[in-house]
Structure 1
């Protein structure tokens, strides 16, 4: 017996439906891949529907295009009697065809009206069909793909010109018109184009007074242009005449050459030798020697010295200081009476002091290039030669004497020389003389000078006319100049005592190395390791001779030089225990290329002008930053580049801070990380009263 089916339980169905709704309402966790699949299916479905809608609209448009269209001249229109098909106009066309019997034209109008209605209905059907599949046209965008900003692959701005970006309209009639040639008023043919157009606009817009107003505008512009030309504000100082230079031009000029001046009534620097106010005969010698362009110290110092001003010149070594004080000196003594039998024993007119024999001989050689053609005598007085020999050289007198302080004091004490008519004093490398313990001899020499022609310590010392006059007879005011690379306190004290209202010229920053020297430092402890590293540097072939190696102790010179010779390099040695002949021979062999490497103490740190030194090696770091500056100044001279390599150890802690500072100020050098992080390089060490700079310690002239 078949079981009877019971009717469904309504409450149970309702409960089941509520449970399904509750279950559907609960958030269901879907894995990421499932979500991506559902999203892809939805996107595909939407794309398919969009494609169907577009195809429907495209089909509707094609159907609409296939249907015939008629117009006034369409194919289905009836032509008139002459085949023109024109619709009649005038009162006859307004009459009903039933009234005038013109059935032909009336039928034509009815057919046109029917066709227009049919076309309108088709357009509506197409619009409805488009709305059915595409939706209503609301908020229709005017976006154009062609106007969309294109982006390059690197997401950078595209500077290329797209032809569709061209907004010009070449076929527009307004662009077809061209302006007529400007009306050129007589006398204003060279006026700027913009001003001429403005004047032309005024002339055309105002028929009555436009001509006069345009002329006034052009005249005003010409006056302003001429005033600007007179001031030459738009020209560089190198393009201007000397009389057109303004304060702004001189400021730019000084910045270009790193010139800084202090003091009252300081003249402007010279831009070239022709503007230096040197005598023509002396200028010819300058060009003959080969000084094509003056150096910064020469540009600033020579005009000041020619005004009989006392001068302090602070410049790095190798900057051309020798010519900076020699040329004004020669001008000065050229105005004095020549030496004869009556005054040749009264001493020289000019005295040049230098700290080392080598520097004295270098200055003497440079001075003879200019002095001997002018008829002046130059004599050097240095140690290493007998006093009798030097007295013989002075037998006929000398206008210029170049000397070291120690030997010159010996000549004064033995009455071989007097300074009765000396009126021009130059102290070259003054800081070095103080550093070598020459303060006392220097003071004796300056005190031996006559006081009758000493300048007053007033504002008159800044007046070039007063200081250039004669003090009765042949005497003139004494002129004193000091050249130095640094300004330690002892040098400042001497300058304050013996110089009167001096002008101070600083080239670059005092105490800093030149920017043409690349400074490298290496921490290497022990003599043996340093010798191996020195051998690697020399064998690398990166540096051409001549090369200078600096050490601190004389006996180390011989040891290091012996090792370098064993490596196959011809070597010369220079230190304080060498005789004068040995010193001269060592420098001469280096200059002539007979030896490749010079091993020296600080004796060669200053005043040694060996051309084209490519490398300086500080086998031992200098005991002061001033000595280090002058050591590395042996390379990178005369505008050429050079390299300085310094070996450092724990014994150099006192100078590491100053070394870090001086390297960090160089534009071509980099402070190594080991030096930057070194404990001793973080702060400046405190020294006692007897340390550091100077006196007669191990850095004195005797020990070297």
Structure 2
């Protein structure tokens, strides 16, 4: 009998594994009740937090808990405390959480434990918005699953698609994919959908970013290609599940919850446990936000001033909006003898991986990037994030500054704001106020910050009427 712990978890070759699950391997409860809502204060808050919780007390095996300790995770974070028991109990989960709160381990740990009970075929599928994040997630699973013969396949653009299609047919335990590439492979060869027929755990990671990038049709295409026969029955009331049947559970993780994400959740999740960590879209309290009002031609000198106060061993990410700007800022920093690398969509996949690897290993201490790195890239100890260009929406801003202030460490986010950014003045001012961050007088007093773009100024109409 395969146990939930130790190296024996995935030791048997696929050909010798059972082709049908035993009844006792079905971890789902016999009944599924109405949605549960778990609200947890943001990082740093004390009220309602259970500081005595351990990974073992959440239901993880001694082996999994030992892996966490070995990776420097002595105790679970808030999102892990809320999600791990729900996933182990077979519940669908929606987790809305700030960045840097340990969301990856919140689903990876229970998935690995459930996989130990039925290590046959593609057990888990993780959809995520970017290539870099897909590679990073696969690395996290490998680290957390160390000691077990975990087989994974990463399905992303920029890599030979035929080789990836063959990898799917090799029945890996885990598939981590960007929705565009996986949907493309399924469209070219619909028979590949059979490889996903036994998926027990489906993860939609960074769901809001996948929608932002326009991947909603591809996400739906992948999910619709999977068999509907293993979905739990719909309905708001208590539902009785068949004890000898394997059901698919779906977990959605997102920093924000726009309407399009809610639409996906309503269509594909069944009576989920809803986990709210802090406030959706709010920055963590560990990030100190500062805004500098500048003219466009003042940005290079202002950047130089911001960086020169940091030591050479501190990691810095500079975000820009275009590939051309990325190249220009990198040239400036190279001239100032910073150890600088770039990351944008014009780079090959090998170049992008080398940039992240070099930044993580301190070959470089400054990463200049477009929003391709704004979501999910987890490089520890980033001391400073500079928004050289203000993004055109607050969601992107939130995820950019979330690259610092992670894993309990404090960070700084500096944003260069110009009069070309007036379209976001109103939302940005409100975001700063909601986060108790200082609002520059020039931003607070600007007309564009007083009303949301497109809103009708009823006060002006009233004055005009009074003059008639």
Q: TM-score, normalised by structure 1?
A: 0.56
**How many residues are matched?**
415
Aligned counterparts, 1:384-423, within 5 A:
384-394=158-168, 396-415=170-189, 417-418=192-193, 419-423=196-200
1:459 positional shift? 4.2
Max Rg structure: 1
Q: Of 292, 299, 315, which residue of structure 1 is paired with 2:97? A: 315
Query: Quick check: 1:632–1:644 contact (8 Å CA) kept in 2?
Result: yes
For the structure 1 residues 254 and 635, does the alpha-carbon distance in structure 2 shift closer, same or farther, using more than 3 Å as the test? closer
1:484 aligns with 2:261: no
CA contact (8 A) 2:42 2:284 kept: no
Does the C-alpha gap of structure 1 residues 468 and 616 become closer, same or farther in structure 2, counting only changes over 3 Å?
A: farther
| CA-CA distance at 1:260 after TM superposition | 11
Is the 8 Å Cα contact of residues 42 and 279 (structure 2) preserved in structure 1?
A: no
Following superposition, the deviation at residue 269 of structure 1 comes to 11
The CA distance in 1 between the partners of 2:382 and 2:186, in whole Å, is 38
| Alpha-carbon distance change, 550 to 455 in structure 1, aligned in 2, over 3 angstroms | same
What is the SS of the residue equivalent to 2:147? helix
Trace 1:205-604 onto structure 2 (pairs within 5 A).
271-336=53-118, 338-339=119-120, 344=121, 348-394=122-168, 396-415=170-189, 417-418=192-193, 419-459=196-236, 466=240, 469-471=243-245, 476-526=246-296, 528-541=297-310, 545-604=314-373
Counterpart CA distance in 1 for 2:45 and 2:244 is 35
Is 1:307–1:468's contact at 8 Å kept on the other side of the alignment? no
Contact 2:43 2:101 in 1 (8 A): no
| Distance of 2:402 and 2:76 partners within structure 1 | 19
CA distances 1:68-90 after superposition (whole Å, capped 9, x unpaired): xxxxxxxxxxxxxxxxxxxxxxx
Report the counterpart of residue 375 of structure 2 in structure 1. 606
Q: Could you tell me how far apart the structure 1 residues matched to 2:258 and 2:333 are? A: 36
CA shift in 2, pair 1:543/1:687, >3 Å = farther
For the 8 Å contact 2:291–2:440, the answer to whether it is kept is yes
- Which of 629, 633, 640 is residue 409 of structure 2 equivalent to? 640
- Partners in 1 of 2:337 and 2:270 — Cα distance? 55
Distance 2:312 2:417 in 1: 21
Match of 1:107 in 2: none
How far apart in 2 are the matches of 1:259 and 1:468?
41
SS at match of 2:229: coil
How far apart, in 2, do the equivalents of 1:501 and 1:672 lie? 44
Instruction: Provide the secondary structure at the position in 1 that maps to 2:397.
Output: helix
1:120-156 Cα distance to aligned partner (Å, 9 max, x none): xxxxxxxxxxxxxxxxxxxxxxxxxxxxxxxxxxxxx
Q: Comparing both structures, which one devotes a greater share of its residues to strand? A: 2
Which one has a larger percent helix, Structure 1 or Structure 2?
1
User: For 2:162 and 2:315, how far apart are their aligned partners in 1?
Assistant: 36
Matches within 5 A, 1:615-626: 615-626=384-395
**What do residues 582-615 of structure 1 show as CA deviations (whole Å, max 9, x unaligned)?**
0001111111111121111111100111111111
Separation in 2, partners of 1:448, 1:540: 53
Q: Distance in 2 between matches of 1:525 and 1:467?
A: 62
* CA shift for structure 1 position 392: 4.5
CA contact (8 A) 1:259 1:508 kept: no
Residues 40 and 276 in structure 2, CA contact (< 8 A), matched pair in contact too: no
Q: Output the aligned Cα RMSD.
A: 2.5
**8 A Cα contact 1:259 1:296, kept in partner:** no
Gaps spanning 5+ residues in structure 1: where?
1-250, 262-267, 689-704
CA distance in 2, matches of 1:496, 1:403: 22
Match of 2:11 in 1: none
**1:673 positional shift:** 2.0
1:396 shift after superposition = 3.2
Q: Which residue is 1:675 aligned to? A: 443
The verdict on how the C-alpha distance between 1:260 and 1:374 changes in structure 2, with shifts beyond 3 A counting, is farther
Q: Distance in 1 between matches of 2:244 and 2:343?
A: 46
The answer for the alignment partner of 2:463 in structure 1 is none
Which structure would you say has the larger RCO, counting Cα contacts within 8 Å and 6 or more residues apart?
Answer: 2
Going from structure 1 to structure 2, the CA distance change for 1:647 and 1:543 (only over 3 Å counts) comes to: farther
Task: Name the CA distance, whole Å, in 1 between partners of 2:97 and 2:42.
Answer: 15
